[in-house]
Structure formats: C-alpha cells, structure tokens
C-alpha cells in the first residue's frame, strides 16, 4: 500500500521536529570543527535558520535636525553671498505656518536668486519662491550695507531691512538695525525673528501697515555678504551677549550674598572684641573721705 505524502514547507517560525545538536568534542579527521559547522548549516537550511545571523539594524534620522549646505549667490561670476538657516518660516495673520526651508536650501531647491546684487558697500539677497500655497509671487529680500567706522578702525556690515513681497504688488518691510558684524566675519544668531519671544530683531517698519500682519523667523541664522573668500563661512560673530538678563540677576544675587556675609563676619569679630574687653577689665576702688564718714556717724 502506498501512502501519499503531502509536502510541507517550514517557515523560520516553525520549530523542527527533531533536535539538532553538535557535540563540542566533535571534530573531523584534521582536528577542527569546520566540518561540524558545515553539517549544521546544511541541517538548518530547510528551516530558513542561520548560524550567527547578523542583527538587523535600523538607522534613525531626524529630518528637523538636518542642516543643509549654505546657499551660495554669485555675482559677475564670483561668489559674494553665503546664507544658511536651519529653518525659515513665515506666517500671515492667523493662517498656517509656511515652511520655506527645503525650498531654499535643499539640493532640489526651487528658489531663484535672480535680482541679487553685490558691491563694495551694498549687497542684496533676493529669494524668489513663486507661488506658495495661497501666496502669489512670494519673495524675500535681505538688504545689507558695509560701512567703515573710525572708532572701531574697520568695516562693519549691517542687515538693514528684510522685505516680504507677495501677491505681486504687496510688500511688508522690517528693520533689522541690531544685526551687524565685522565685514571680515560672518554673522550668526540662533533666532532672527519678528516674534517677541525671540527678542524681536526684526521690527516692522513704520512706513507700512502690512508688516504688522506678518511673522518671519530664521532659526540658526548665518550670513556673510562681504569679503567672501570661498564656499565656507568666515569666523562667526554671534549675537549672544555675555550680560544676559539671567547672568545679570545671578551677579546681583551673588553681590547681595557677599555683602550679607561681610556684615555677619564684621559682627562676629566685634563680639569677640567685646568679650576680651570684659575679661581684662579690673575693679577700681575709690577711698572714702573723712567728711563722708563723719556724716554717716552723725546720722546714726
């Protein structure tokens, strides 16, 4: 009688019906365990098992922390402006936030820098984005100047204004008079923004009413518009100052504590001086006069 056998395929999760073992002392004629390992691999192959299988790894990436290469702008065949930001975002009134980071810095960026300009004392960075969501003809323009200061003995460049052009004919202007650095350096700041929580380095211009409806923020902002020698930034002049409000409060608190400690030490030293005076003080006796003695006798 013949019995039909159904073929069965084992997956990697199915356990084999028999134990497969290797004796540690099993060796071949040459005194090695190589043959034993080969036999084990052949026995495990039908069950999709592997000997010493490498662990699976998964690389984690944080898209928000990616830092793109600087945006390089050339004028007359020479690189004259370097610009970079970890995030560039704008918002109009209560509308949703518009993130322009990838449109500006990614390898497939669609930004157009046509209209940018460089000279010895002026520079303009023009970022043209075209139509972005509900905004038509969106562009952002950064206007900078280079001035020699006799008191410092060197040139300093300033970011004078930031303009947002939208819907072809509308414009929002911001003053940025606190953004400056030596012209031989680049300028860096963690936040250059029109928001109050970021110190409001971009102030709406008094000549327009549209800027008050806009919010613009550059995160990890860095720019160099003069004396660009290569495709890399020069040493950065950071906007962070040493005497921040937190540091000033710490210094004032430390000064008050030092004054209290000095007063306490002064009082302790003064008390010790009084104790020594009391210990060294002697008793003074005054002799009684004869008139006083006669007066006492008469009273008796």
Listed in sequence order, the residues at least 6 apart from 172 whose beta carbon sits closer than 8 Å to its beta carbon are 163, 164, 166, 204, 208, 210, 211, 213, 214
Listed in sequence order, the residues at least 6 apart from 158 whose beta carbon sits closer than 8 Å to its beta carbon are 144, 145, 147, 176, 177, 179, 180
Which has the closest alpha carbon to 63: 111, 102, 113, 24?
102
pLDDT of res. 162: 93
Distance CA 177, CA 239 (A): 12
Judged against a pLDDT cut of 90, whether residue 92 lies above it is answered with no
Per-residue pLDDT reduced to its tens digit, 179-226: 898 888 999 998 999 888 888 889 888 765 688 888 999 999 999 999
Across the range 174-181, mean pLDDT stands at 87
Judged against a pLDDT cut of 70, whether residue 290 lies above it is answered with no
Judged against a pLDDT cut of 60, whether residue 257 lies above it is answered with yes
Across the range 34-56, mean pLDDT stands at 52
pTM: 0.59
Distance CA 115, CA 141 (A): 9
Contact 25, 36 (CB under 8 A): no
Contact 164, 216 (CB under 8 A): yes
CA triplet 206, 209, 212: central angle to 5 degrees?
90
CATH topology assigned to domain 69-245: Porin (2.40.160)
Judged against a pLDDT cut of 70, whether residue 30 lies above it is answered with no
pLDDT of res. 287: 62
Distance CA 45, CA 23 (A): 19
Distance CA 236, CA 223 (A): 9
Which has the closest alpha carbon to 119: 197, 183, 215?
183
Please name every residue paired with 92 in a beta bridge, in sequence order, or none if there are none. Answer: 214
Distance CA 288, CA 126 (A): 108
pLDDT of res. 219: 92
pLDDT of res. 199: 82
């Amino acid at each position: 009688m013949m019995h039909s056998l159904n073929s069965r395929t084992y997956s990697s999760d199915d356990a084999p019906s028999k134990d497969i073992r290797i004796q540690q002392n099993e060796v071949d004629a040459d005194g090695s365990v190589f043959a034993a390992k080969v036999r084990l691999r052949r026995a495990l192959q039908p069950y999709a098992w592997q000997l010493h299988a490498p662990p699976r790894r998964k690389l984690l990436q944080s898209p928000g922390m990616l830092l793109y290469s600087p945006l390089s702008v050339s004028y007359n065949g020479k690189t004259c402006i370097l610009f970079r930001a970890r995030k560039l975002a704008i918002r109009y009134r209560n509308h949703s936030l518009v993130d322009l980071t990838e449109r500006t810095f990614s390898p497939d960026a669609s930004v157009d820098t046509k209209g940018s300009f460089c000279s010895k004392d002026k520079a303009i960075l023009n970022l043209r984005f075209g139509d972005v969501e509900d905004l038509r003809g969106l562009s952002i323009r950064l206007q900078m100047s280079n001035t020699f200061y006799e008191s410092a003995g060197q040139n300093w460049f300033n970011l004078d204004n930031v303009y947002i052009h939208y819907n072809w004919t509308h414009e929002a202007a911001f003053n940025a008079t606190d953004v400056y650095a030596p012209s031989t350096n680049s300028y860096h700041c963690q936040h250059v923004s029109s928001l109050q929580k970021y110190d409001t380095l971009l102030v709406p211009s008094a000549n327009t009413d549209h800027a008050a409806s806009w919010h613009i923020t550059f995160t990890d902002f860095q720019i160099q518009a003069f004396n660009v020698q290569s495709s890399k930034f020069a040493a950065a002049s950071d906007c962070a100052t040493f005497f921040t409000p937190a540091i000033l409060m710490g210094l004032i608190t430390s000064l008050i504590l030092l004054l209290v400690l000095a007063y306490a030490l002064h009082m302790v030293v003064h008390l010790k001086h009084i104790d020594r005076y009391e210990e060294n003080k002697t008793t003074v006796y005054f002799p009684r006069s004869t008139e006083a003695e006669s007066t006492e006798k008469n009273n008796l």
